[in-house]
Structure 1
Amino acid sequence: MSFEKPHDILFLTKEEAERIRNVVKERFKKCSQLTGHAREPRDSKSAISQATGASLMADMGSMALSQFKESKMPALTVGQPYQPCITPWNGLQSMKLSELRLETHHRRCHLAIKRVSPVVTHATRSWTIVQDEAGDTERLEIVLHKTRHSKEVLESALSFILREPYFTLTEEGEPTLRVDHPSDIIVLYERENPQPQSHSPVEPEEAASSYKQKGNAALQQGNLPLAHHYYTTALDLLTATSSPNPTLTRDLHRNRAYVNLLIGHFTAAKSDALSALIPQPAENNVQAAELNGKVYFRAATAAYNLRQFEDAQDFFEKQLALMPANKAAASNLARTKARLREQREGVYDFAAIRASLAGGKTKGEVDATSFVSYTEVRESPGKGRGLFTVKNVAVGEVILCEKAFCVAWRVQTAVTCDVRDDRIRVAAVGLERAVVERLMGNPSEIGMVMDLFGDWDGGAASGLQKTVDGPVVDVFRIHDIVARNAFGLGQDTGNAGLWVRAAYINHSCIPNAEREFIGDLMVVRAVRDIAAGEEIVLSYDESGDYDARQRSLLTTWGFECGCALCAAEKGDEVSVREKRKRLTKEADDFIKTVPRTAQRLAILKARRLAKAIDETYEAERFKGLPHLASRGIRQWLAKGTS
């Protein structure tokens, strides 16, 4: 579960919200009416011309031609999920554009296409015009997850394979091929023929060597996906031979390990690095020792990023044994040992971690790791799963420290209209993108994220990590998981992240714990003594207004709170709630305008406000319960005596 998400605050007029709903409903109605209708052919020349003009307009920063163009941020329809394709593309039947049917997922089929126009890029989608082998053209759109390694997917190559293509309508009612799941589009990089001009065939080793050079050139140009493709092609050629050249094979694995590190594919980087090790180099073989030292560094760096600190320590130690004068190796080993102490013992140097953030040199990503040994995930009656302590925890003691799985800084947001409940929300789509990209690069982490609560279960694809075509991530499930489990990093920061362990902490308006953020490290402490086996609860919404709090909990997290405080507040007369609301606003305005160094009369006024708010809580009914509405003004008063 999540709480305090600033990106959920939405400033839309009723008219704007209703307009968005009407556009979504109209599209949904039109799609339903056209389901199964044959595709109408496009005029190739006019389609390409339209895309070219739209691309120029987008490049000039013009507003996208959309029915949502008056909104203050991009708009997306959610709540119509479908599973990603889980069948390798060569196991699917080939089809043509002329065979497309509207509002249809063409299951068990694939479509080979090439791009024939510029790419039109917008905040949450990119589109272009594509052509099949028969010469027919059609619009192709990628929604939200349109980049890989900071590059537009549609601009990364000319040829693509669409697995189980989805043909539907845009929000503007225009027919389009639509891609939501990154794994449903396969990029076919141009394969240059490495053979010489003679008619004699090229040996696999010679071809692999040629692809290695192409990979090196792509790497120098900063085209990491293309470099990865060339190194992989070369390795595939060598693997197919009966006796692959071991030196060339190791070179390719070593180079690809470096590329994998740069693009965040840490599991693959670790595997590649270990595959590049030269077996038992002689003591006097300086070159072999240096290459192995480099390989151990890459394997250690990958393990460190995967938070596999025992492996990282082993690899850094082996690097240091081969490179005893390498100061960076010694420093990295010390860092890794510090992470192990944090992970095993919960020992943190919080002052040093805070100091590392000073000056804004980093976005907020601290060099620390998670300590979760005091907690366990269990079933919580009526709440699904929750997080429980496994030992007694004293007030003020740290219960949990967790390094974020993924954070989006100054997160991009979008208005969403969820057709499942007809609600307008704001989604942290930048965080969704970041989570999906990390999982696509590290499929071994898919399971722990997909295990979190989400409204869409994903069906057969939810537990799948990859196929022979690569990783499979259900983006609709990720959307729901982020919506239910993401955290905002404090108030009004514009940053949001996903902490997998803390996501299991359930809500209560009477919490027994509180949390703070030190960069992307979440620290959860007890606000009272907590007994072993007791559930940890945090407040998702700390509003002192009962109606506002319940509305927030229902809209964002999908439940109404029935804790003892809410039960007591529910029994208040409407007039009492209104009075409490007026007094709270007056107190909030007072706090904003009057400094704590104020004179005695201001302090007396603050005390009168606090007393007046507290008097709206009937003494017997609220006995032993907190008065949330007066908390702010009482904290203001407490600053003078702390």
Structure 2
Amino acid sequence: MDTHDVSEEPQYLKYLVQHKKTLQNAQRFKGQQPKQKQSREDLIMEFMFRQMASNNMTPDIHEFAIRSSFLPPTYVPSIAPFRELSKIMIKDLVLETHHRGSYLLLRTVTPADRMTAVLAIVEDEEGKVLVLQLYNQNPSRAAEDILNEGAVLIIKEPYLKVMADGGYGIRVDHLSDVKFVPGHDRLVPPSWRKGPGKRDTLRMSAQDWRMVGNDFFNKSSYSKALEYFPAEDETFIIKLNRALAFIKVDRADDALRDIPDPKMSEKALFRKAQAFYHLRRYRECCDEFRILCQEYPKNSAASREFTRAIKRLAEKVNGRYPFKQLQLEAAKLRPPHLDRATYIGPVSVRSTFSHGRGLFTTKAVKAGDILLCEKAFAHSFVDRTGFTRSAVILINPETNRMTLGGQAELITLIVQKLYKNASLMPVVSDLHHGSYNSLEVCEVDDAPVVDTFLVEQIVSLNGFGCPVSSRKSHISLMTNQKVEEKFDSCGLWPMASHINHSCYSNCRRSFIGDMMIIRATQDLEPNTELVFWYTPPFEDKPDKQPDFDHWGFKCSCAMCQDIQATQKITFVERDRLVADLRKYFQSPHPNGARIESTLATLAETYSRPASEVPRLTLWDPYLSLCGVYSEWNQPEKAIECGLKALESLGYVIDGGKFPRASKTPLVVKKWGLMLDLLVNCWMLLALAYSQVAPELEVKAEGYAKLTYRICVGEDETFHETYGRHADRLDGFLAEGE
């Protein structure tokens, strides 16, 4: 939804065609043993030269770099326990094959490099070498920290493939298919264990290993220390230190397992509270900090963290946020990840009649009310303006779909998060994933199993493209009049993902950093299903039904039903009238009467009332004519056209029309489609009313502010963006940008 889909754009199709050809060629070698094209020395030398060349390249900050990431044919992760696997060597591998029931023991012989994967040359015990490609590794860690030279690792059920350059390599997409082997492990061959300056690991005590862990903050060293059966007190200290190491690498689940409840010390309470905070379990976090602050009142760090946790819990419970502060944080932080909690308002997930599960109101709400303010489960930020000016085309040859932006990184971020904290698995795996068959096995050898391709499918169907700020997008729209906007940055918001599509939306999403805000666009009764558009109905042509084949459904809203029931000759007539209107507006001296007459003729091509089916071809011309009459200082005509613009979108409005028979107040009786430019419309109406019906000006501006709140997510910045003292007639302030 709102992702930068480039599947139909000619300049990117070459990547898809080229990759599909590579896959087809590779299948010709399936089951064959690879023919060694290079010697060990040549392969290592070529890799090192390529790495040095890429490291010496100076990035051009004036260009936006595009890289490609190709998804291989789908395959499941290894779910076999290690004890059931048989050891094989590189010489036993055959091409384009997953060697089920086997494992490789390898050691890196070069420093690691990073492209879309982390790469290195690896050898087996016989000295045979191959390229190793590890995908979905932590993007915030340097390649050499992930795969340092001399690292020993096990590849479960390895997959040998033909690479794009014609060479051969081992590709690993699932994190659980790789096991890093510590140097002290008995699986490491003696010839790989020896080396100058290394400790005699076989003679080290628990205390020695604890000191190593303290020196290097290495969780594996703490784990090794526990293998030596230290005393109870020492075990407690080692586990607390390891818990902190786990928290530092976002493994809060493991941290909680290391903190024993029966013996809660000051440090243990702090660690437990920290782990709960990392998991966004703010109530439990506050409970631990409350005990900690009562028992140890002089702990100032605990007091500060307790205050922070209380704020998160308050946000989670009451949904009140300092939105202006959030806008400032999102503008400053890179990536714009805000330290905020998720608020789930008067909504709940339930089954629908025909669209699986959906999100429903639990009580009556008014237009503009906040329904949900959700922090992203994971968020990938792509900055086209900063120093890191790059994005990735994620290419799926099985679906022929290509997206430009952060989707590849988003998949990695989610896979990493689930692998580190298996307790979060249901949050993602429970989301709609089409026909993809998910594994029933979630853990093997005491480690989580995360299916990368399941995550990719979930991201494809549930991910959202997003701006840094919907306010910034709104300002851009007011400045440049851009109707369509696709986003490189993206994220996964699980709760919002339950909202089904309808072109005739009754709620709207907006963004501040990695926070998604959902507000009602209409007055809704209890038990009403929330719907918003996945693709805006006016994105291409107002009378064209959007394509939802990617999600596997066809929209059946009133607008789409009307399109299907309308004859083609009617669409031809509308196109002709719209073209005439465009020509009339571009005239040096627009004729208002002629435009109104053409609009009346255009309105006659619709058979159903606008209150039932919005008339999208009328909306923009009426708004433009409202602006023209405002410039000509004809306020009553501006009001007439402004109200007709609203009515064309399905609004039913009482009062405000001229000539006025009484002092009827201006009231929106029924809300229609919600668009950013409606703020412009209401502000033009406020200007016109200030001249002929001052008592209605405040009400019209109030509706402008309410519309702004729905579109932008908040109204605390409204008066910084719109004001009566603006140079523009619609009140837009250029300095609001």
TM class, shorter-length? 0.7 to 0.9
Task: Report whether the alignment pairs 1:263 with 2:261.
Answer: no
Select the residue among 233, 252, 275 that pairs with 1:247. Answer: 233
Whole-Å Cα distance in 1 between the matches of residues 212 and 180 of structure 2?
A: 18
Whole-Å Cα distance in 2 between the matches of residues 71 and 337 of structure 1?
A: 42
Structure 1 counterpart SS, 2:263: coil
Select the residue among 13, 16, 27 that pairs with 2:10. Answer: 13
Whole-Å Cα distance in 2 between the matches of residues 406 and 607 of structure 1?
A: 53
Select the residue among 457, 474, 481 that pairs with 2:436. Answer: 457
Residue pair 2:366, 2:524 contacting (<8 A) in 1 also: yes
Aligned to 1:533: 527
Aligned to 2:723: none
Residue pair 2:102, 2:158 contacting (<8 A) in 1 also: yes
CA offset digits 1:240-285 (Å, max 9, x no partner) = x3xx31222122112111111111111222332x23x7837xxxxx
Residue pair 1:165, 1:177 contacting (<8 A) in 2 also: yes
Whole-Å Cα distance in 2 between the matches of residues 444 and 94 of structure 1?
A: 32
Select the residue among 395, 398, 403 that pairs with 1:420. Answer: 398
Aligned to 1:279: 263
Greater relative contact order: 1 or 2 (C-alpha under 8 angstroms, separation 6 or more)? 1
2:130 aligned partner, one-letter code: E
2:281 aligned partner, one-letter code: Q
Aligned ranges 1:82-101 → 2 under 5 Å? 82-101=75-94
Residue pair 1:364, 1:520 contacting (<8 A) in 2 also: yes
**143-152 or 170-179: which moved more?**
143-152
Select the residue among 271, 278, 300 that pairs with 1:305. Answer: 278
**380-389 or 91-100: which moved more?**
380-389
Aligned to 2:297: 324
Residue 4 (structure 1) shift: 2.4
Task: Report whether the alignment pairs 1:140 with 2:137.
Answer: no
CA offset digits 1:164-216 (Å, max 9, x no partner) = 0001111233221111112111122333799x9999974xxx52222222222
Task: Report whether the alignment pairs 1:474 with 2:471.
Answer: no
Whole-Å Cα distance in 2 between the matches of residues 391 and 120 of structure 1?
A: 54
Aligned to 2:427: 448
Aligned ranges 1:223-238 → 2 under 5 Å? 227-235=218-226, 237-238=227-228
CA offset digits 1:590-636 (Å, max 9, x no partner) = 9xxxxxxxxx989x979959984993673314642223455564533
Aligned to 2:207: 209
Aligned to 1:343: 316
Structure 2 counterpart SS, 1:446: helix
Structure 2 counterpart SS, 1:516: strand
Structure 2 counterpart SS, 1:155: coil
Structure 2 counterpart SS, 1:480: helix
Root-mean-square deviation (CA), in Å? 3.7
Aligned to 1:54: 50
Aligned ranges 1:7-86 → 2 under 5 Å? 7-8=4-5, 12-13=9-10, 16-17=12-13, 19-41=14-36, 42-61=38-57, 73-78=66-71, 80-86=73-79
Task: Report whether the alignment pairs 1:436 with 2:436.
Answer: no
Residue 546 (structure 1) shift: 5.8
The gaps in structure 1 that reach 5 residues or longer are 64-69, 220-226, 281-291, 591-599
Residue pair 2:330, 2:336 contacting (<8 A) in 1 also: no
Aligned to 2:615: 627
Residue 80 (structure 1) shift: 1.8
2:246 aligned partner, one-letter code: N
Whole-Å Cα distance in 1 between the matches of residues 31 and 605 of structure 2?
A: 62
2:326 aligned partner, one-letter code: R
Whole-Å Cα distance in 2 between the matches of residues 375 and 52 of structure 1?
A: 56
**349-358 or 400-409: which moved more?**
349-358
Whole-Å Cα distance in 1 between the matches of residues 148 and 573 of structure 2?
A: 60
Distance change in 2, residues 1:59/1:351 (3 Å): closer
Whole-Å Cα distance in 2 between the matches of residues 307 and 458 of structure 1?
A: 29
Aligned to 2:500: 506
* TM-score for the superposition, normalised by structure 1: 0.81
Residue 458 (structure 1) shift: 4.4
Aligned to 1:289: none
Residue 85 (structure 1) shift: 0.7
Aligned to 2:681: 637
Larger Rg: 2
Whole-Å Cα distance in 2 between the matches of residues 271 and 610 of structure 1?
A: 74
Structure 1 counterpart SS, 2:28: helix
Whole-Å Cα distance in 2 between the matches of residues 319 and 214 of structure 1?
A: 29
Whole-Å Cα distance in 2 between the matches of residues 542 and 247 of structure 1?
A: 62
Give percent identity, aligned residues only: 25
Select the residue among 2, 5, 28 that pairs with 1:4. Answer: 2
Whole-Å Cα distance in 1 between the matches of residues 58 and 601 of structure 2?
A: 53
Residue 362 (structure 1) shift: 6.5
Residue 513 (structure 1) shift: 0.8
Structure 2 counterpart SS, 1:178: strand
1:627 aligned partner, one-letter code: R
Residue 48 (structure 1) shift: 1.1
Whole-Å Cα distance in 1 between the matches of residues 433 and 343 of structure 2?
A: 25
Select the residue among 509, 513, 522 that pairs with 1:519. Answer: 513
**361-370 or 425-434: which moved more?**
361-370
Structure 2 counterpart SS, 1:387: strand
Task: Report whether the alignment pairs 1:564 with 2:554.
Answer: no
Structure 2 counterpart SS, 1:74: strand
Residue pair 1:546, 1:566 contacting (<8 A) in 2 also: no
Residue 319 (structure 1) shift: 1.6
Report the number of matched residues: 587
Residue pair 2:106, 2:152 contacting (<8 A) in 1 also: yes
Distance change in 2, residues 1:23/1:11 (3 Å): closer
Structure 1 counterpart SS, 2:134: strand
Residue pair 2:379, 2:514 contacting (<8 A) in 1 also: yes
Residue 312 (structure 1) shift: 0.6
Whole-Å Cα distance in 2 between the matches of residues 482 and 343 of structure 1?
A: 25
Residue pair 1:89, 1:469 contacting (<8 A) in 2 also: no
Distance change in 2, residues 1:625/1:209 (3 Å): same
Residue pair 1:413, 1:430 contacting (<8 A) in 2 also: no
Residue 373 (structure 1) shift: 5.2
1:626 aligned partner, one-letter code: P
Residue 384 (structure 1) shift: 2.4
Whole-Å Cα distance in 2 between the matches of residues 404 and 585 of structure 1?
A: 42
Residue pair 2:138, 2:416 contacting (<8 A) in 1 also: no
Residue 49 (structure 1) shift: 1.4
1:130 aligned partner, one-letter code: V
Distance change in 2, residues 1:98/1:409 (3 Å): same
Residue pair 1:465, 1:472 contacting (<8 A) in 2 also: yes
Distance change in 2, residues 1:197/1:524 (3 Å): closer
Residue 367 (structure 1) shift: 3.4
Residue 494 (structure 1) shift: 4.0
Whole-Å Cα distance in 2 between the matches of residues 434 and 625 of structure 1?
A: 42
Structure 2 counterpart SS, 1:369: coil
1:515 aligned partner, one-letter code: R
1:541 aligned partner, one-letter code: T
Residue pair 1:550, 1:561 contacting (<8 A) in 2 also: no
Distance change in 2, residues 1:351/1:137 (3 Å): closer
Distance change in 2, residues 1:631/1:214 (3 Å): farther
Whole-Å Cα distance in 2 between the matches of residues 12 and 480 of structure 1?
A: 22
Residue pair 2:131, 2:170 contacting (<8 A) in 1 also: yes
Residue pair 1:130, 1:137 contacting (<8 A) in 2 also: yes
Aligned to 2:158: 165
